[in-house]
Each structure stands twice: as C-alpha cells, then as structure tokens.
Amino acid sequence: MTRLGIIGAGIMGQRMLRAALEQAKDTVSIAGIWDPSGDAMAAMADGFPRVSRAESPAALIAASDCVYIASPPASHLVHAQAALAARKAVFCEKPLSVDVEAGRAFVAGSQDARAAVNFPMASSFGVATLQEWLPGIGAPERLEIEVAFATWPRSWQQDAAGWLDKPVEGGFTREVVSHFLFLTRRLCGAMSLLAGSAAFPEAGRSERKIEARLEAGGVPVVLKGSVGTTEKDDHNTWTLTGATGAIRLRDWSVAERLVDGVWQPDAAAMPNERMRPLVLRRQLEGVARMTQGKTHHLATLREALEVQEIVEAILKP
C-alpha cells in the first residue's frame, strides 16, 4: 500500500483525496494533507475528520511514500525538490512550473527520480479509444484543437480566482490547453511551436484568447482558445484528420469518429463527470507503480516540460 501525502487542500487536492478514499483505497492510503491556509485546514478537519493534517510540508513528506503536489504552480518545484531530496516519489499537478528555465533545470537534475505529472489523459478511456482508432484514419494530415469557456475561471473554480485568473500563474492555457498539448505529444510526437499569440485585454487578469500554429511529429497543428465565446462552462475538441478518416475527443471524454460526414460517438463513451473518478483511479494505480519503481503510464517529467515550454512560449508577450 502506497502512503500518499497531499500538499494543497484546494479543488485538486480534495478531488484526489476523494478518489484515494473512495475509488483507490485498495491501492493507496492517505498519509495526510497540508495547506498553508488555516481556513483550508479547518475545512479539511470538518469535511475529512479522519485524514491526518500535517503541521508542515516537511512533516507531510516524512510521513509519505509519495507526495502529490496540488498547490498553486509557482510552488510546485519547491515542494517537489524537497520531496525528492527526502527520497520520496513525487506526483505533481500541472503545470510543472511557470518558469521554463527552472523547469528545465529541475528535469535535468531529476533523470532517475520517481516522479510524474498529473495529466489525466494518460489514463483516459476516451484517449484509449482514439489510440485504437488511429490506424484507421491513415497517415495523419492535420490536427485542430479548440477550447472555449463562458467565463474564466470556470464557475466551479471561482474560489481559486486569486491566482487562477492572474497572468503570472493562471489562465486557461496553463490549466486546460496543456492537457490537449499533452494528448498531442502522446499521440502525434514531439512538438514545436511555429507561431503563437495571446490576448490580455483586462489589466492584471489572465489571457482571454490565444492562437497558435505548431507541428507535432510532422503533423501541422492549429490551436485556438477563447473566453466568452460559448454558453458552456467548458467546451473543447481535439480533432485529428488523416488521409482516410478523422477522429476527435470532444468535451474531455467523448471519443468520436467521422462516418459518412457525421460524428459518431463511441458506444461506451460517457460524460466527463462520470469518467473522472474512474480515470483518477487509473492515475492512482499508476502512482503506486511509479512509487514502487515499476513501469507506469503517467506523464513523465520530460513530457510535462515539453508542454510547459509550448505553453509559456504562447503566453510570452
């Protein structure tokens, strides 16, 4: 049984905690949780009274086999370095960092570390279906990625707007587009940015529109993202067109393929709300394998760094 310690009691920390307690209790146990906010820790005491609340990050790390880092992005590498220095495994939220040079240095110095980054598409049932369908579309010719939001942050993220809607750490490119860039890297190959731009129309707030052109494994990629262009909290498509067909992932979890000009969903597809806990269980199974030094399917530090480099280049003024 892998003892998992959690740094950060916000949305993602609580989501992973629930997954560990409800879906993966035969795979991981919770060593404890720590957050610098007294209010957050008090809320944890009320909501999860049986979960140990650590007095410090060092105490949490000492009690854990693996540390899940779910704090705001600027603190990721500080906690990750402390955990690795204590010879513990690390499972870090994305982005790996908001400082590209710091990210590169960290990855270069962590080649043999037991460390991975939480890109849930590594465990997605919808992505697995796309991989099965991939040979049927022939040679890939183009990829289109579109993300849109009614507002940013999304309605369920408003409590984190203090950092999630700031240009230093937040924005939908880091929080959402990064997932689809990881998917692109996994299914198509190494990425390079050809051109990119981001619009920051509101002073002190994160981007409201991005556009970019990339290549991934030789496949041309067009990326677009915007806020205020849909009534949905969150709408996205990842569409790969080949010489003999096309496939796509819609709204995070629904795998579809083009049949006679009509998008047909996989018969086993389910909405993201239903798929998420199943995916998190798969992620935690990977965390246990990674902590034990076994092969795993989770996003590597190198993959996360490649995503970070593209994201920060798009956002760079």
Q: Is 261 left (phi over 0), alpha (psi -120 to 50) or beta?
A: left
Contact 130, 255 (CB under 8 A): yes
- Count of structural domains within the chain: 2
Residues 38 and 88 grouped into a single domain: yes
Residue-level pLDDT at 309: 98
Residues in the chain: 317
Residues 126 and 251 grouped into a single domain: yes
Residues 131 and 241 grouped into a single domain: yes
Residue-level pLDDT at 111: 87
Residues 17 and 37 grouped into a single domain: yes
Q: What is the pLDDT along the chain (317 residues), one digit of tens a residue?
A: 999 999 999 999 999 999 999 999 999 999 999 999 999 999 999 999 999 999 999 999 999 999 999 999 999 999 999 999 999 999 999 999 999 999 999 999 998 899 999 999 999 999 999 999 999 999 999 999 999 999 999 999 998 889 999 999 999 999 999 999 999 999 999 999 999 999 999 999 999 999 999 999 999 999 999 999 999 999 999 999 999 999 999 999 999 999 999 999 999 999 999 999 999 999 999 999 999 999 999 999 999 999 999 999 999 98
Residues 266 and 133 grouped into a single domain: yes
Residues 265 and 154 grouped into a single domain: yes
- Strand order, beta sheet including 115-118: 28-34, 2-7, 66-69, 89-93, 115-118
Residues 91 and 155 grouped into a single domain: no
Q: How far is CA 267 from CA 187, 204, 270, in A?
A: 22, 44, 9
Q: What are phi and psi of 123, to 5 degrees?
A: -115, 10
Q: Torsion angle of alpha carbons 98, 283, 91, 84, nearest 10°?
A: -140
Residue-level pLDDT at 159: 85
Residues 266 and 294 grouped into a single domain: no
Contact 272, 251 (CB under 8 A): yes
Tokens of 251: 């709204």
Residues 212 and 291 grouped into a single domain: no
Residues 184 and 197 grouped into a single domain: yes
Residue-level pLDDT at 1: 93
Kindly state the helix (H) or strand (E) to which residue 215 belongs, with its residue range.
strand 209-216
Model pTM above 0.85: yes
Q: Which domain holds residue 287?
A: 2-119+277-300
d(CA 30, CA 32): 5
What DSSP string describes 241-254? Answer: EESS-EEEEETTTE
